Amino acid sequence: MELFVSFSEIIEYFKRNILKFIIVLAVFGIVFGLMPLKFVHHEYSCDTTMIISCEIPEDAQTDYRLQYTSILNSRVQTALSIATGKDLIAQTAERLGMDKSEITSIGAVQVNTAPVVKLTARTPNAAMADRIANMAAQVLGEKLSGAFPSPKLTAVISDKAIPAEPQSNKSVMLKAGILGLIIGFIIYVCFGIIVVLTDKTIRNSRYVSEALNTTLLGTVPLKGGSEKKENSFRKLRAAAVNCASGSNSFLVTDVCERNGAADVSVGLASALALSGKTVLLIDADLRGNGIAKLLNAKPQHSLEDVLKGSLSAEQAVSQTPVKGLSLVSGSDSDLSANPADLLFSEKFSELVKELSARFDYLIIHTPSEAQYPDADTIARLVGSVIMVAKYGSTPYHEFKNSFHRLNASGGRPIGFVTTDI
């Protein structure tokens, strides 16, 4: 990148793309908010606690009583083993009359070193979670009693499972939506910064001015109403006349196609005419007659007619709705000769000299300098050249090349105008 990128340019990018920014955030928020409906499945767990004990026979020997703790611990370990088996899930589901696939898992742990087992059942069915845990404990107790008939084993449920509270999809969707907004924000901000950092179009007019040692004559706003735009042309009028150093003829040309030179030409010409001056605007775009449409004028003749010798220069001049502003219209008809060749003719040179002497100011508009040679052909005939670039659209290298070509063609670029600011 040849030009420095400032933080203000990044901010300006987001201001100009605020609608896209909102759309991206909305899309991420909606997509992430709806994802729980497809991918997130709630799982509920309930705990049932049971106490295991063994009876000690009255005639038990002393050695048996000393081994009681070990015997009880072996029963607890057996209970933990049975609790993790698939048979317990199948029997529990059968007792409850439900499909075993609805039970995610059943597990058990010993509470500290006591003969206490905490059974945990997991299921996506909130209404059945506590019943599954309680039933699993009951089945486990029966299995233990059957496995150890002597000494008699007792498994008592001390704490039944507490019913699970169903989780709302709304809260999960809300959290996912907020996460989506955050991710969308981060992605768009990173994307915007990368776009600006890698963009080689004109975004900072001041740096262009300093890099090429030329003058920023003015900026034309993209929004703000007609009054704001008209005032921008009044500012351009003051800067252009001052930089022209007494010259009364201007060439206004786009750097690239549709950069806004036609609007700038009409705006500058109208601003000069409103100051009480007589102004002639020549539309030297022989590939179109956009100036006439902008001024809402309906000329009978065009510049093409003069260059072909069909009529005099004076006959080609027509009035416009703007007091003091006259127009020589361009042409959108098919030409047998290249427009640049017609503009390089002696007849056009004489036309410029003749008409510039009759008006206080002469403004000539040409199409894109980068695309057509018309501006380079005319540049030597006028006192000042004004280049027009479009914010965020005109590549800097195209602007620089046009600037040097116009200088080499004998033109005197006094500065440039940035449009759509």
> 174 φ, ψ to 5°?
-65, -45
Q: How far apart (Å, rounded) are the C-alpha atoms in residues 239 and 237?
A: 6
Q: Is the pLDDT of residue 130 over 80?
A: yes
pLDDT of res. 4: 57
Q: Is the pLDDT of residue 360 over 70?
A: yes
Distance of CA 223 to the CA centre of its chain: 20
- Parallel, antiparallel, or unpaired for β 361-366 and 279-283? parallel
pLDDT of res. 414: 97
Higher pLDDT: 299 or 215? It is 215
CA nearest neighbour of 351 among 333, 373, 378, 332: 378
pLDDT of res. 1: 41
- Evaluate whether 209 touches 215 at the Cβ level (below 8 Å): yes
Those residues with Cβ within 8 angstroms of residue 403's Cβ, 6 or more apart along the chain or in another chain: 212, 214, 387, 413
- Evaluate whether 119 touches 48 at the Cβ level (below 8 Å): yes
What is the band of 99 on the pLDDT scale with cuts at 50, 70, 90? very high
pLDDT of res. 334: 67
- Kindly state the helix (H) or strand (E) to which residue 106 belongs, with its residue range: strand 105-110
Coil/strand/helix, residue 384: strand
Q: Is the pLDDT of residue 193 over 60?
A: yes
Model pTM score: 0.68
CA nearest neighbour of 326 among 354, 381, 363: 363
Question: Which residues sit opposite 154 in a β-bridge?
Answer: 53
The model's pLDDT over 295-337, given as tens digits with 9 standing for 90+, comes to 998 888 889 888 888 888 889 899 999 999 999 998 866 666 7
What is the band of 2 on the pLDDT scale with cuts at 50, 70, 90? very low
pLDDT of res. 63: 62
Those residues with Cβ within 8 angstroms of residue 153's Cβ, 6 or more apart along the chain or in another chain: 52, 53, 54, 75, 144, 145
Q: How far apart (Å, rounded) are the C-alpha atoms in residues 263 and 277?
A: 19
What percent of the chain clears pLDDT 90, i.e. is strictly above it?
A: 64
pLDDT of res. 363: 97
The model's pLDDT over 36-79, given as tens digits with 9 standing for 90+, comes to 877 777 889 999 999 998 877 666 566 665 677 788 888 899 99
- Evaluate whether 126 touches 167 at the Cβ level (below 8 Å): yes
Q: How far apart (Å, rounded) are the C-alpha atoms in residues 348 and 336?
A: 17
The model's pLDDT over 243-286, given as tens digits with 9 standing for 90+, comes to 999 999 999 999 999 999 999 999 999 999 999 999 999 999 98
The model's pLDDT over 394-413, given as tens digits with 9 standing for 90+, comes to 999 999 999 999 999 999 99
> 161 φ, ψ to 5°?
-70, 145
Q: Is the pLDDT of residue 174 over 60?
A: yes
What percent of the chain clears pLDDT 70, i.e. is strictly above it?
A: 95
